[in-house]
Amino acid sequence: MPKVKEDIKLYETIYPSGIELVPPRFAISFRNKWMLQKSDYVVTYIKRPQGGAAQFYELALKKNK
């Protein structure tokens, strides 16, 4: 078993609480918004101007990320 630093909590996850109540088609958007709240920086890759990645990018700009 690999050693884990003491400051890292083993139960930390990218699975936010409350996501189980969100319909599956909106789960990725819900998680992206949650991660945006928790992050300082955002890296995006957009191939086309419409879609979820572009919407996430616009939301990140509005939040000054």
Burial environment of residue 8 by CB neighbours within 10 A (0 to 12, 13 to 18, 19 or more): exposed
- What does the DSSP 8-state code read for residue 22? S
Confidence of residue 7 (pLDDT cuts 50, 70, 90): low
Which range has the worst mean pLDDT, 15-19, 44-48, 49-53, 60-64?
A: 15-19
Ramachandran sector of residue 22 (left: φ over 0; alpha: ψ -120 to 50; beta: rest): beta
**H-helix segments, 1-65:** 27-38, 52-62
CB 56 within 8 A of CB 44: yes
- What does the DSSP 8-state code read for residue 5? -
